[in-house]
Amino acid sequence: MKRLCNALLLVVIGACGLAQESAAPSVAIPLIATDSHHRPVSVTVESLIIKDQKTLITGASLVRGVDLPVELGILIDTSGSQRSRDLTEFLNAAKQLASEIIRGPEDRVFVLKFSATPVATEWLKGGQLPDTAVHGTGGGTALYDAVVMACKERMGVRNWHKPTRRILVLLSDGEDNLSHATHNEAASEALKAGVVIFAIDTDPSGLSYRGVKIMQNLAGVTGGEYFSPNNENDVNKAFTSIRDMTEGMYCLRYVPPDASKRAIHEVEVKAAPKETFKLSYASKYLWNP
């Protein structure tokens, strides 16, 4: 009987150890690999060199994006700078994007329009997006406030145990003249939420140098991409690229250094020698186990 009890105890201890190991917290970093033509390509964890807080990471894994739920936010600038523009083509392309990637039971989307203040819908399914024309309505531009609202009030802080593909499509000329939040605060909230921002410039002239830099920075810091379409065909191409990158996205998972401590981590992911793909990802994340 004593031997049986000891054997059962060992089994219980082993099971607890496995449960603790499987429950070990890990990061979930969105990662996009593309070729020289900006087309998504397949990668393996062996083809990556990963450093977190300058520590070389081993034991990482890659989860395919198509196996994860999608949370999509579409942010539309309707301020005075958009007054002369018909944004319907952008909304139509956004609706097409949602219909193509919002398919699973956990997939969802919201629309946020902003000028002086941001106003967002509740979470919707892909076929529930509003079917109305969108024009600039006037007023100042609170772009940073819009990004903060999308990240805090819709996306929320990311759940490390349940990773999702969190995508924000930002339609604007990038100018901000009315936000309470700063550029750094907007970028910080985006990193906390774990969103990837794809920024599409609605000003084809490219004359707003400051706006271009703002859009490029928000996209770059989150691992997304900036687009500057000149016509309707370019708009459709931009949204097709966003769809392909969203579908081809990976989620990079590993246990970070000092996993018990809440901190901002800096991460570096490079292609292994002889690999030629380009990687897009957020180089910082807030670890909040």
Class of residue 51 by CB neighbours under 10 A (exposed 0-12, middle 13-18, buried 19+) = middle
| Distance in angstroms (rounded) separating the CA atoms of residues 257 and 264 | 11
pLDDT of residue 1: 47
Question: Could you tell me the domains of the chain?
Answer: 66-247 (3.40.50.410)
pLDDT of residue 137: 66
- CA distances for 193 relative to 6, 28, 100, 164, 229, angstroms: 47, 11, 23, 11, 27
pLDDT digits (tens, 9 = 90+) for 139-182: 889 999 999 999 999 999 999 999 999 999 999 999 999 999 99
137 in helix, strand or coil?
coil
The pLDDT of residue 89 is above 90 = no
pLDDT digits (tens, 9 = 90+) for 213-242: 999 999 999 999 999 999 989 999 999 999
Identity of residue 188 = S
pLDDT category of residue 80 using cuts at 50, 70 and 90: confident
The pLDDT of residue 36 is above 70 = yes
pLDDT category of residue 9 using cuts at 50, 70 and 90: very low
pLDDT of residue 252: 98
| Distance in angstroms (rounded) separating the CA atoms of residues 263 and 266 | 10
pLDDT of residue 87: 84
pLDDT of residue 2: 44
Cα-Cα end-to-end distance for the chain: 42
pLDDT of residue 14: 41
Longest pairwise C-alpha distance within the chain:
85
pLDDT above 90 as % of the chain: 76
pLDDT digits (tens, 9 = 90+) for 99-154: 999 999 999 999 999 999 999 999 998 778 876 556 556 788 999 999 999 999 99
Contact in structure between 166 and 196 (CB atoms under 8 Å): yes
Contact in structure between 49 and 279 (CB atoms under 8 Å): no
pLDDT category of residue 12 using cuts at 50, 70 and 90: very low
pLDDT of residue 133: 53
